Amino acid sequence: MIGVLIVTHGTIGESLLSSASQILGGLPPLVATLGVSRNDDPDDITLRAGELLEGLDQGDGVLVLTDIFGATPGNAISQLLRDGHIEGASGLSLPMLPWVTTRTPIIRFSSPARRGTCPRRRSRSGPGSRGNRSGW
């Protein structure tokens, strides 16, 4: 089964997961959240996300969902993404969570057309970087 990591600003991810759990009648398996605050160091975010990814990956990969494209949560985890195994998508919404968490056994990461929209940046420049907090 594919794991799901939700990386968002503040407690947005926790709130969405709580609401999805109410819809589904329980907490979906292999799902974790990581809340990012304005004062978090991007390297610490990446480290924490890496630890969560290790726990979620049962061999089938992990889907990382972020709230805003190009913002700190997506930028911090972008270096952890690996084609076909750890994929990312931004624009997280409540309707996405029940759909993704109940269909992960049939989701496949084999096609570029199915790749998410999370940026894959190697540098730390741009919105959300340590030197530029305007991306918040």
pTM: 0.75
Q: Is 24 helix (H, G, I), strand (E, B) or coil?
A: helix
Total structural domains within the chain: 1
Q: CB neighbours of 16 closer than 8 A, spacing ≥ 6?
A: 6, 8, 92, 93, 94, 97
Domain holding 45, by residue range, is 3-135
pLDDT in tens, the chain (136 residues): 889 999 999 999 999 999 999 999 998 889 999 999 989 999 999 999 999 999 999 988 999 999 998 899 999 999 999 988 999 999 999 999 888 888 755 555 554 434 444 444 443 444 444 444 434 3
HEC assignment per residue over 79-131:
HHCECCCEEEEECCCCCHHHHHHHHCCCCCCCCHHHCCCCCCCCCCCCCCCCC
Question: CATH number of the domain that 119 lies in?
Answer: 3.40.50.510
